[in-house]
Every structure is written in C-alpha cells, then in structure tokens.
Structure 1
Amino acid sequence: MAPVTSAALLLLQPVLAVLLGVLFLGERPTATQFAGCALVVLTVWHTSRGGAPSSSGTPPPRAPVEAERHG
C-alpha cells in the first residue's frame, strides 16, 4: 500500500469510529465532533486529489544547459 493511502486511512480512523458509534451504539455526536469529522474528510480529500503542486515560493530545480556547464 502506498504511504499516501496509508496516511489517509489512518487520518480517517476517528471519523469511522464516530460513524460506527452512531450506527451500532446509538451514540449522538456533538456539533463539534461533526465539524471535526467534516474537517478531517475535507483535508484528506484535498491532499489526496493530486493536481498541481502547491506554490511554496521556490521554483523547481533547473537542469543545467550544456553551454553553462562548459562556459
């Protein structure tokens, strides 16, 4: 399993625990717990969707040009 997939599954574990508690134990989560679950799910979705790399302010490394190496 890829490290990214493992990390995402580990982050979703508390969300699944809340869901299972609701389904099997009849627990009633608070609004704060629901907000936390939504935040975790959105964060995992955002980081796992891929796309363009985030702009950290540093440009990607540049391969040397032949003229620059001998020049």
Structure 2
Amino acid sequence: MGFVLVLTGFLLQWPTLLTLAMYPVLIWMYVRLAHAEERETRTTFDTQFDAYAARVPNLTPTHSATQ
C-alpha cells in the first residue's frame, strides 16, 4: 500500500499527463506482481503460508487467500 500512496503523492504533486497516464499502469503492474509473488510463496511454503495468509489481510480485498 505504501507504493500506491507514493504514486498518489506523485500524481498530486506533479499533475501532468504523464503521471496521470502512468498511475493506473503502475498500479496494475504492481498488483499483478504481488499476486504472482503470492502464488510463488504459496508454492514454496505451502501450509505455513496458508496459516500466515489467514492472519494477514491481502493487498486487494477481492483477492481470496485460497487462490
């Protein structure tokens, strides 16, 4: 979430067409990366990661911990 807040700050501080265009692209790329890393971590740590994921909220609320 810190990365999203930094991007939002850049967008507010330097409201240009470039920052406006890059904002959704960077958010989308970061969410895809987070989901890919979660899948890789789940593969590596299996039940340990499942226990961790049950205690810690996801990056995106719509992303289920069982995926």
TM-score interval for Structure 1 and Structure 2 normalised by the shorter chain: 0.3 to 0.5
* TM-score (norm: length of structure 2): 0.37
* TM-score (norm: length of structure 1): 0.36
Structure with higher Rg: it is 1
Query: Structure 1 or 2: larger helix share?
Result: 2
